[in-house]
Structure 1
């Protein structure tokens, strides 16, 4: 396959309504060519509808959609040069792997010999050289997923779309497949739009994550930015484990604020928030435990779970129940033990109430 830079996808005021129900509120989004953008959110937030509008499987109710600078708003799926990998793989069980991959080319009028040659090259691209004669039923779930990717890739699309592609795989295979998809996307310079509700999957594969909520974009940005600087509690809790507590901004100096969390005072970026009540997000890894009586927040171990590489604790404190991840597993705390809870400022984020 030739290495190429994928096309830019530009959405301008795109919306989708089904009668009185708004599935996607009008939104603007630019997906840069050659990047992998993940649409992340809970069921019913609009992410799959948005993906299907890019694919041409759903017609936008309003707005415009451009792929590679071309207005494709009114074009059918077959006229858009995009390919989609579905959750179910949707392979033809009676066809060989090679025929499955070549099917789209042959349907488009390519000669069978040429289609098979390109299909062989594409199977090699996804690590399945020599598998062409097998039937899908003779492959593992991960191999079937690769065949589905190859079938989409062989058409050399401007944009490759993934709809929850790994949800049928077990945890270990999911991890290796997401790494393969990411490596393939970067090697071929593809534009990929990827839908998932799995935060770790989104963090692992994405250049940009678009967090969706209630049919609109809650926040978009790089994985690191969304994790470290979420705009609100919803985004924070959707981008990994997070404790949401109430605090108060007592003073502001430059871009820093003094934030009170019960008896604890922390210096945090104020992020444009005013004096007064504030929501505060505490990442579990920002919590460490010390002996009682030290400076910090008094707490009691309500539950402790040994996880091999680390301990997980639920701590009863004046701020409420806090979930903590502590890597000092050899110094495990017993249930009922009194502790001092320390907070590392880099894992504590003030957000808009």
Structure 2
């Protein structure tokens, strides 16, 4: 038996929501709609406003302007306890002197539910997150990943319309982060929750999200699906923040319909024009779109390997080229290049994107 929420997660809508601390604009007024039953990640560097935005949704911070609606209900001025949202904190915030079961049941008991009924619900919540039978342990007797699940169970047991995560995996090692993000995603999809998830880890955001909100300087830089943001970034910042990317300058020589003829040194490529016009242009090249080839065998841009790193499943190269230094990933485990080697570079157009500065 698993814990079932009463209804599918609610829509979260922000209308002109902003936050000031004196003269400091922590979040510039913005509009954002988060569809019910989806997982949306707020992604950006430290200080961009993502955590402040999450705390305003939770009711831990009050907007200084705008309206915030959850499930169509204006909750802008409501305290956290009246919003029907739950939050999983970075530190998990478990009570060390309480058993796991009492930790999960705490919110229900505090709201007036009989302890026996609260414990029954808490047992179901623990089963939902794969911790059946762990209720009698103390948090100190649990691993980091298990404590994180306890924190999720404590949030789920309140049957929230919206579940909020603030950097929930930052205290875990790399392997455990990977498995826990998959568990969070599977749980969200199974229960139909609306989840707002804050992280600065691009790979984490790509792995769990229906949509990603990239933030910069207290405002939204771009909103899209993981694939849209990776393959169609609207700026150099978004492109370079969403994974590894080489930023170079090129020239649009001609525009024909939706296609631009682009010159990169002596290389010519036909790329989607993306609303740009002829002239100098910023170009982003993904490392996996760079093919390192033998210089003598094909037409290619000349390059020299300046650094080579063996990564097991692939090799990483830093290349000196007429465009400047380029970072490339190559699945050439059996034919590894060496520093100082003269090579050629070709580009796969699917990983080359025209962007605005």
Q: Please classify the TM superposition score into its range, dividing by the shorter chain length.
A: over 0.9
Give 1:302's match in structure 2, choosing from 301, 306, 317.
Answer: 306
1:150-203 CA distance string (max 9 Å, x none): 000000001000000000000000000000000000000000000000000000
After TM superposition, give the deviation of residue 5 of structure 1 in Å: 1.0
Q: Which ranges of structure 1 fall in alignment gaps of 5 or more residues?
A: none
Task: Indicate whether 1:322 and 2:321 are aligned.
Answer: no
Kindly indicate whether residue 186 of structure 2 is the aligned counterpart of residue 183 of structure 1: yes
- Whole-angstrom CA distance in 1 between matches of 2:109 and 2:61: 25
Match of 1:35 among 35, 38, 51: 38
Q: How many residues align?
A: 353
- The Cα shift of 1:328 comes to 1.5
The C-alpha deviation readout for 1:295-342, integer Å capped at 9, x for no partner, is 121100000000000000000001111000000211101110000001
Alpha-carbon offset, residue 217 of structure 1: 0.2
After TM superposition, give the deviation of residue 216 of structure 1 in Å: 0.2
Residue 29 of structure 1 and its aligned partner are, at CA, apart by: 0.1
Q: Deviations over 1:238-266 (max 9, x none)?
A: 11000000011001111000111111110
Q: Distance in 2 between matches of 1:290 and 1:325?
A: 12
Deviation >2 Å, runs of 4+: none
Q: Which runs of 5+ in 2 are unaligned?
A: none
Q: 1:44-59 to 2 correspondence within 5 Å?
A: 44-59=47-62
* In structure 1, distance between residues paired with 2:125 and 2:4: 10
CA deviation after TM superposition for structure 1 residue 17, in Å? 0.2
Once the two structures are TM-superposed, the CA of residue 48 in structure 1 deviates from its matched residue by 0.2
Distance 1:289 1:93 in 2: 54
Question: In structure 1, what is the Cα distance between the partners aligned to 2:29 and 2:333?
Answer: 49
TM-score normalised by the chain length of structure 2: 0.98
Q: CA RMSD in A?
A: 0.6
Tell me what 2:225 maps to.
222
What is the DSSP-based 3-state SS (H/G/I as helix, E as strand, rest coil) of the residue aligned with 1:331? Answer: coil
Q: Aligned partners of 1:250, 1:318: CA distance in 2, in Å? A: 18
1:140: which partner in 2? Answer: 143
TM-score by length of 1: 0.99
**Hey, what does 2:11 align to over in structure 1?**
8
Partner of 2:79: 76
Of the candidates 335, 344, 347, which is equivalent to residue 343 of structure 1?
A: 347
> Which sits farther off after the overlay, 292-301 or 237-246?
292-301
**Alpha-carbon distance between aligned partners in 2 of 1:341 and 1:128, rounded to the nearest angstrom:** 51
Q: CA–CA distance in 1 between the matches of 2:289 and 2:333?
A: 16
TM-fit CA distance, 1:352: 1.1
Q: Distance in 2 between matches of 1:334 and 1:249?
A: 34
Tell me what 2:337 maps to. Answer: 333
Whole-angstrom CA distance in 1 between matches of 2:198 and 2:314: 30
Distance in 2 between residues matched to 1:148 and 1:297, nearest whole Å: 53
Instruction: Give the structure 2 partner of residue 89 of structure 1.
Output: 92
- TM superposition shift of 1:136: 0.3
